[in-house]
Amino acid sequence: MKSVSGRGCARGFAVGILLAACVADALNAAAGQTPAWPTVAVLLIGLTAVLWPSERRPEWFTPQLRTAVPALASAVLTVGVLLAGRPAAFGPGEAMILLCLLFIAVRHCPPRWVIWCCVLDASALLAMPVRYLRSWKGETLAYGVVGLALIGLTAGLAGYLRSLDYRRTVAVSETRRTERLAIAADLHDFVAHHVTGILVQTQVARMMATTAPKDLDPVLAGIERAATEALASMRRTVGVLRDIGPEAADRRPVGDLAAVTGLTDSFGTPAQKVTLHRDPALPDDLPHEVQAAAFRVVQEALTNVRRHAADATEITVALRHLDGRLEATVTDDGRGGTQLPDAAHGGGFGLVGLNERVTALGGTLSAGPRVGMGWEVRAVFPLGRSL
């Protein structure tokens, strides 16, 4: 609040100085030998271009129009004074306006318009002393040197700020791109998990329809729940993709260690038993990025069980705290038998993405067959502090 208030005071002070200088210009023009109204008209045009509030500025009032028209008006006034043959005073107000317009041109004009608008503003500023001296020689050169120095300082500052604006735009675009890629990965993880579950439970329901039709209701309820969760995850994720903003992270599908319990509960079927072992010494305040990565490891491993080991009957999920590290493991007793269609097996990129996520946090990921039979996925995350 103090920073905003300070900027408002500084802006008000600068506007006050500009208005005072313009009033001085108008008074000097009124005391001169030429009519004062052309000078007043140029000042009003320039003040309108500089001070028009951005929130009330119409679309047609572009930066190039704002900077070109007042400069042309100033140049026309200079030419008119020379043709009239009578000297006219020039003051700081119009010069300050032209410098402000030069700043706007360098910082805000489209690239193809920057040079032209800058040339117009600079030329109008450098030509102003001719109104009084009526010559391009002698003292005009001294005024020109001062004018060039002011033009260089103004253009340099505006160019530096424009480069900062460009860097900020690039950074925001890259952040949005990274966020979209991460959300796309989340969409794959969530929806693939639920859809694979729907497919497996549908196959179970088809078999039970002929052998145990009375026990179908729990299986159908699981299918309904998985479909509902898949639609909800997709709706949230697509909604975020449509509008990536500062609040997007709060609306992204969130996974943490607490959500692992719900994940394992919803995974089980009459033919597959899932057991969760969580170390009582494992606290709930682990870093969010570690919890989210551990959740993704468990989710992807369970999805792969359904894809590649549908014959597994015992699945164990374990979360342990070992010497300042979080260990997440998923094991099964499957033999690799599956009846899923080839199109449902995935593209093989799930573990690749998980490995990138885990190693980015300084951890390790391993996946391979167990001794005897079954498969194990194991991820270890350093916590960076003693718990």
pLDDT of residue 82: 82
Stretch among 5-19, 88-102, 209-223, 346-360 having the lowest mean pLDDT: 346-360
188-201 pLDDT, tens digit per residue, is 666 666 666 676 66
pLDDT, averaged across the chain:
78
- Residue 256: pLDDT band (50, 70, 90) is confident
Longest dimension (CA), the chain: 110
Of all residues in the chain, the percent with pLDDT exceeding 70 is: 72
Is 181 in a helix, a strand, or coil?
helix
Which of the pair, 233 or 177, is modelled with greater confidence?
A: 177
Query: Is residue 106 pLDDT above 90, yes or no?
Result: yes
- Residue 233: pLDDT band (50, 70, 90) is low
- Domains, the chain, with CATH or none: 2-136 (no CATH), 255-387 (3.30.565.10)
Most confident region among 71-80, 187-196, 285-294 by mean pLDDT:
71-80
Q: Which of 260, 253, 342, 340 is nearest to 301 (CA)?
A: 260
Q: How far is CA 34 from CA 20, 23, 25, 84, 87, in A?
A: 21, 17, 13, 9, 8
7-19 pLDDT, tens digit per residue, is 667 788 888 898 9
Q: Is the pTM of this model over 0.85?
A: no
Average pLDDT over residues 361-365: 86
Stretch among 178-192, 199-213, 338-352 having the lowest mean pLDDT: 338-352
Most confident region among 157-161, 230-234, 291-295 by mean pLDDT:
157-161
Q: Which segments of the chain are extended strands (E)?
A: 273-278, 314-322, 325-332, 364-369, 375-382
CB 297 within 8 A of CB 377: yes
Most confident region among 183-187, 197-201, 288-292 by mean pLDDT:
288-292
Average pLDDT over residues 372-378: 86
Query: Is residue 116 pLDDT above 60, yes or no?
Result: yes
Give bridge partners of residue 320 from the DSSP assignment.
327
